[in-house]
Amino acid sequence: MKRNGRHMALAVAVISLTASFPSLGEEPGWALKEDGWHYYLEDGSAAVGWVEREGRSYFQTPEGGILRDTVTPDGYYVGADGAWYERKETILDTDFTASFTVPDPVTEWIGKDALAGVKSRVSQRFSGKRSLRIGDNAVEFVRRETQEQTGTAKRDTASGRGTSGSGASVTETVLLGLYREPGQGRYRLDIRAALDGERAGSQAATWNYEIFRAMVYQMSSAPELLANALYSTWEEENIWGIGREQWVRVGDCQVLYTSGSGVGRFYIRPVREGNG
């Protein structure tokens, strides 16, 4: 794999042209076999490494098959169909592009510029009643409520709520909080809000879901898959079976989940050799 500036140029043919066995007499190019697609070189031998077909890239093994639903030796996630492709979409009028390789919680946020664009959109829409805070180790979507109340300033870490001290107090609730935990090699995502605007009967909940999607882009090179699993666990029937006891693999991630007192807490770590 190569990078050109911020972009990666995938090989049109094969990155590694080595073959582990002699010529099979196959025609060069792609051929559909009983176990799937194979790519053959000019001498009829099977290619090993990255090959491209119809704009998508596949990692072919020495045995002639392709890797599926796993992370390749050089760190790229390939889906159930064996394909790697650039994943991107527009969220709140902002373009997001997933990391090419599996993200590392030790490094800074992948899409800081995109997050800044979403922050601006939130500010325009909610006029201070909601905000997106972006720090080195935390991204928080916060709701602010003003009320007449006196007392000392405080913050409840468990509930994500804090209050100011005098006059008209402002209560803050972290609706969605994404945190890097580099010492433990993982991310943490806290959810205290409905993600289904239609079900909740709230237009604001629609924004919750969009922010949620933007956060997922920071943790995975296959964000659509991870978002589906987290959403299912929080809003629906948890068809992935994600719980607190055992890591569940979702694409290029492994996930744990705990809940209580109105908060769902996910721990997400990248699939690495030895834990996948």
32/106 Cα distance (integer angstroms): 41
Tokens 């119809």, residue located: 54
Domain extent listing, the chain: 2-78, 88-270
Comparing 248 with 206, the larger pLDDT belongs to 248
Statement: residue 176 has pLDDT above 70: yes
272/102 Cα distance (integer angstroms): 9
pLDDT digits (tens, 9 = 90+) for 59-80: 988 877 889 999 998 899 999 9
Please check whether residue 194 is in contact with residue 225, taking contact to mean a CB–CB distance below 8 angstroms: no
Statement: residue 210 has pLDDT above 90: yes
pLDDT digits (tens, 9 = 90+) for 45-60: 777 889 888 889 999 8
Token duo for residue 85: 């492709």
Q: Quick one: pLDDT at residue 47?
A: 79
CA separation (Å) from 108 to 27, 136, 188, 219?
Answer: 46, 7, 14, 11
pLDDT digits (tens, 9 = 90+) for 125-175: 998 899 999 999 999 999 998 877 655 555 555 556 665 555 678 899 999
Count of Cβ atoms closer than 10 Å to residue 245 Cβ: 7
What CATH number is given for 2-78 in this structure?
A: 2.10.270
Please check whether residue 41 is in contact with residue 17, taking contact to mean a CB–CB distance below 8 angstroms: yes
Average pLDDT over residues 221-245: 94
Statement: residue 202 has pLDDT above 80: no
Query: Amino acid letter at 115?
Result: L
Q: How far is CA 96 from the centre of its chain?
A: 11
Token duo for residue 23: 């010529």
Statement: residue 111 has pLDDT above 90: no
